[in-house]
């Protein structure tokens, strides 16, 4: 029922299209979602999550998990992190991959909703160290579509891999296009 309602909201009410699909044959992977320019991206992510049936986890700043809404973010797969400290987040997430038979981890490579020159690289090192592929998800408000790529295994050449990953997102406009 949740899948049906999410699909109806996404396609009929909002008028968006979904291109591509999450891999069914792979049980562990990192999802990178770009661009991330608004809090609305989280609600779009939830619609996609329930529409497609994936059980993805994500990290969020620790302050989101305090107070009355903490249960909400945890319920929907949130893992709190303290970004002011070097808590070895990459190692913690790699450990989760290594300890579970199924684990899908989603994050934004920008690490913020603001415009950035360079992506944060944690997602890359998580995929490398956990030996899992990266699935690219373009959240394009300009075209009102979400584009899901086939899984990409890093090749061990950081700059080349990053350029390959970024190519999937060319032209994608965030909710706030000036931040894309």
How does pLDDT run across 75-134, given as a tens digit for each residue?
A: 999 988 876 666 688 888 999 999 999 999 999 988 666 677 788 889 999 999 999 999
- Residue among 101, 123, 102, 100 nearest 111 (CA): 123
Helix runs in the chain, H state only: 2-7, 40-52, 70-75, 89-99, 122-130, 158-167
Q: Which two tokens stand for residue 25?
A: 């044959």
- Is 94 in contact with 122 (CB distance < 8 Å)? no
Specify the pairing of strand 78-81 against strand 56-61.
parallel
Give CA–CA dist 79/53, Å, rounded.
19
pTM: 0.90
Give CA–CA dist 140/65, Å, rounded.
28
């Amino acid at each position: 029922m949740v899948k049906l309602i999410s699909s109806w909201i996404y396609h009929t009410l909002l008028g968006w299209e979904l291109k591509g699909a999450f891999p069914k044959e792979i049980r562990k992977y990192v999802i990178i979602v770009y661009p991330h320019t608004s809090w609305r991206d989280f609600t779009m992510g939830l619609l996609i999550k329930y529409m497609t049936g994936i059980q993805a986890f994500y990290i969020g700043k620790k302050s989101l998990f305090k107070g009355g809404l903490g249960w909400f973010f945890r319920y929907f797969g949130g893992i709190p992190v303290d970004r002011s400290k070097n808590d070895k987040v990459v190692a913690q997430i790699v450990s989760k991959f290594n300890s579970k038979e199924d684990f899908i981890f989603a994050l934004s490579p920008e690490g913020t909703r603001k415009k950035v020159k360079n992506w944060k690289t944690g997602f890359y090192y998580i995929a490398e160290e956990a030996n899992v592929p990266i699935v690219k998800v373009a959240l394009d408000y300009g075209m009102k579509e979400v584009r899901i790529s086939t899984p990409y295994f890093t090749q061990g050449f950081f700059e080349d891999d990053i350029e390959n990953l970024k190519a999937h997102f060319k032209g994608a406009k965030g909710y706030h296009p000036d931040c894309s």
